[in-house]
Structure 1
């Protein structure tokens, strides 16, 4: 538990440092990393941006738009990887990015059920939001539609999480007496979910 606490503590400190140092550009870069199929949780990035907003050091709308722009930016390489590589390439090499065949099937189900709107909806869902760009590329989704819906879905998600951060920042005094326990709980939850996600995909990699 201490190891997980330490790792995620460093991750959170890194996120806070980047946003504090670079402002909206830092938010965009961090969100772009998440959209490149790298497990850097937006649930940790955007609420801290909201906290910065609550201190009057950043505009609320700028923070949200920076998050959405970063999501679109990060989805570009994933989209074209699927577009030019095709399903066989992604199924063969996607495991090296912790993307399994089941992940692609899950994304396929969303696209089959909701069509292009899946690109909007999936941007507001944990985990699947990070790799929905791959099947979009594989299916040769129209670029203008895909990137527009990606931006809009990411914008809703960004506004929501930034708002959460703003409210927590505005009520920091009320949160102080439970903040440490809350922080530990978040670290444990992220640690367990992250460990299970990595374990499942590493196991799949070894089996294949």
Structure 2
């Protein structure tokens, strides 16, 4: 299933170039699980061949990711929020849990959004809860853009450097995803440990 989706993404990018990169990243960031791990490296490969410019591909990919994320954020804020509040009892979500979520995003939202943009799967869906919790829109946009920029630079540059061999790195995408997830999870555990130690001294 994933391989078929990746092949479709490659076919579309090959035909649409910059617009395909923008569209693919926008959809991927709008809660549609299109693998950016295929979009950006293939865009890097197209830059290697001279069909695209690497810098423009990275910028357009970043903008696409940001635009898609904003769409999901607004959907969460104006569509998801009323639904959550309306059906909270049926979903077994208490008012205190909703308020706790709001408080958490207001306090740590920028870190959550930024680091989530560097994580597979989570990066696709994080904008929706950010919108539901009404995270500050300006902060959301800034940190989404920065996280998307780093993601686009790394994957786009890898595809560019690998050139025609870019396809050989596809089996390594999932390993890299796991490695990044472990590093960020370790950082989160470290921060929690520091805060816990501070509160108990």
TM-score, L = length of structure 1: 0.67
SS of 1:144 mapped into structure 2: helix
Match of 1:125 among 115, 119, 122: 119
1:24-103 to 2 correspondences below 5 Å: 24-87=18-81, 89=83
Structure 2: stretches of 5+ with no match in the other structure: 88-92, 176-201
Please name the residue that 1:10 is paired with: 4
1:154-169 to 2 correspondences below 5 Å: 154-169=148-163
1:168–1:83 Cα change, 3 Å: same
Matches of 2:58 and 2:149, distance apart in 1 = 6
Does the 8 Å CA contact 1:82/1:90 hold for their aligned counterparts? Answer: no
Instruction: State the superposition RMSD in angstroms.
Output: 3.2
Matches of 2:86 and 2:26, distance apart in 1 = 24
Matched, 1:145 2:139: yes
1:27–1:92 Cα change, 3 Å: farther
- Per-residue CA distance 1:94-134 (angstroms, 9 max, x = gap): xxxxxxx9xxx9xx698477332322221111111111111
- Structure whose alpha-carbon radius of gyration is higher: 2
Matches of 2:118 and 2:17, distance apart in 1 = 23
- The alignment of Structure 1 onto Structure 2 pairs a total of residues equal to 164
TM-score, L = length of structure 2: 0.69
